[in-house]
Structure 1
Amino acid sequence: MQEESHFLIVGLGLLGGSYAQGLKRKGFHVSALDLNPESIAYALKQGWIDEGAVGFDEALVRQADSVVFGLYPQALLEWIDQYQDSFAPGTRITDVTGVKERIVAQVQGKLRPDVEFIASHPMAGREVSGVQYADCSIFEPANFIITPTSANTPEGIAWVKALAETLNFRHIATLSPAEHDKMVGFLSQLTHVIAVTLMNTSDNTHLVDYTGDSFRDLTRIAKINESLWTELFLMNKANLVREIDEFAAELAHFRSVLENEDTEEMKRLFRQSTQRRKCFDK
């Protein structure tokens, strides 16, 4: 990736702001668009962007050769519909959205042939939103997933890989959009469903004075952006429903083991979970 590249960040939230911060620290020219004037003002004050505009600015779009979309899935699709004529020929674009199969198919299906969309997913985030929480150090322990298709060029794939390397992601992997959505249905979406469901099982707020770290750790991600995650769940419904069913079956099995006081099977499950969890230690 050339240092004279002009980046445009569309959507200065937590991730968009973190991209801007990280790219600016590496010496790149960074512009931004956001619907919130306070987000633009904040990024300018922090020195994370060279210029920005509220809503849409054709000049900023045309000067960019590299574009990162930090938008919700549906907003990304609508932006492409409305404004893709403003891209300069040869522009490469990527995203941060947490579902891929439907997004990639729709964007690549409608995008101009002289603009390339190489989808990617930074597996990083926090339980807060907004550019004021941006911090590019969240990328350092994180995985970065590239989800190319036959519509992508080797040069485009190399560009998004270089972007991840520039931002210091710990590990970079490549999956098809379908493989990505199956993976994320289990690793991310199901875990959010479990945390949300646990917090909604009963009114447990009176237990705050007695809880230990295990409850806080397990329910950390229950503090959730309802608009974003509703879109993500619905766009990956088939995968997530299957994962919920498989989890429910495993939960029913554990209930049976407990009810029947099957100590040997319970210990086997504990040993298996302990061994599998070790693979995820960083």
Structure 2
Amino acid sequence: MTNKKICIVGMGLLGGSYAMGLTRAGNTVYGVDICAESILFAKEKGYIADGTVNNYEKFVSAADIVVLCLYPHTLLDWVEKNKNLFKTGAVITDVCGVKCGIVDKVQHMLPENVEFYASHPMRGKEILGIENADCAIFKNANFILTPTEKNTKQTENVLRDMATTLGFITFSILTPEQHDRMIGYVSQLTHVIAVSLMTASDNADLEPYTGDSFRDLTRIAKINDGLWSELFLWNRENLVLEIDKFSSSLQELKKCLQEEDEQKLKQLLRLSTERRKKFDKG
């Protein structure tokens, strides 16, 4: 994708990384944020052609594509306030980690000549802020599209083009409901486990005793509490189900230990190994 006018709303880690990659590809990128320092940083680094915290109407109305890099509640509020700014034929997308209760509401808000097609880049960092932006994080990553009956193949192709430009290579199509069920397991549950590992022990000084395994498992425990508490609560029904299933799996392994069932224990370990090998292909 090149020669498009793109407005990024929310110039944090993901917004900044999108802006960096899309600008380098030859697009004109504008930034909108509530933090003047983030806009200044993005302009100084060349991630955006221009940006602002106020009076952003001209950037939004000029954009062929608007990417909403906002928390769920903030996203809904922002669209409600600015729904009449988008130009005819504009494509609106997002990076939000939940879709149910977002997609339908935004599509209902927008004028008929503006299309919201939700998407979710499956790549980020455990550190925050535009100062940590890096479009290289998207290389070879997964990208999820969550269309409804209101979306078009033409807009899907626009988003695939944009994501490919950023470096994504694997695309999945899910309904919003399928997305939230899947994300409850592969993303949110993993963060819950990492947080639990860091809070399960009263010993706050574990660092001198840990090896790579503990560090690898808890990397994402350095977490944005504002964002992730909102995501957890928004998708709480799916997440609670996944926590229950994970607890059952732990109990199964615990039972193997209590009953000294070496064969069953080895069976679980072999199953884990075989499933994990699939991630290493290619």
Normalised by the size of structure 2, how large is the TM-score? 0.97
1:73–1:55 distance in 2 versus 1, CA, 3 Å: farther
- In 1, Cα distance between the equivalents of 2:31 and 2:216? 35
Q: Secondary structure at the match of 1:273?
A: helix
Identity %: 52
Corresponding residue for 1:120?
119
Corresponding residue for 2:145?
146
- In 2, Cα distance between the equivalents of 1:92 and 1:260? 58
**Cα displacement (A) at 1:234:** 1.3
Corresponding residue for 1:281?
280
Corresponding residue for 2:82?
83
- In 2, Cα distance between the equivalents of 1:165 and 1:126? 20
**Cα displacement (A) at 1:157:** 1.1
Identify the range of structure 1 (159-168 vs 117-126) with the bigger mean alpha-carbon deviation: 159-168
Asked if the contact 2:83–2:109 (Cα under 8 Å) also holds between the matched residues in 1, the reply is no
Corresponding residue for 1:158?
157
**Cα displacement (A) at 1:178:** 1.1
Corresponding residue for 2:253?
254
Corresponding residue for 2:45?
46
- In 1, Cα distance between the equivalents of 2:209 and 2:144? 39
Does residue 185 in structure 1 map to residue 184 in structure 2?
yes
Does residue 22 in structure 1 map to residue 21 in structure 2?
yes
Corresponding residue for 1:230?
229
Asked if the contact 2:33–2:52 (Cα under 8 Å) also holds between the matched residues in 1, the reply is yes
Q: Secondary structure at the match of 2:179?
A: helix
**Cα displacement (A) at 1:4:** 3.0
Measured on the aligned residues, the alpha-carbon RMSD in Å equals 1.1
Asked if the contact 1:94–1:120 (Cα under 8 Å) also holds between the matched residues in 2, the reply is yes
- In 1, Cα distance between the equivalents of 2:256 and 2:190? 23
Q: Secondary structure at the match of 1:158?
A: helix
For structure 2, the residue ranges without an aligned partner over 5 or more in a row are none
- Map 1:203-242 onto structure 2 (within 5 A): 203-242=202-241
Corresponding residue for 1:100?
99
Runs of 4+ in 1 over 3 A off after TM superposition: none
The amino acid that maps onto 1:13 is G
- In 1, Cα distance between the equivalents of 2:80 and 2:55? 13
Normalised by the size of structure 1, how large is the TM-score? 0.97
- In 2, Cα distance between the equivalents of 1:18 and 1:195? 25
Alpha-carbon displacement from aligned partner over 1:191-228 (angstroms, at most 9, x marks no partner):
11111111111223222111100000011111111111
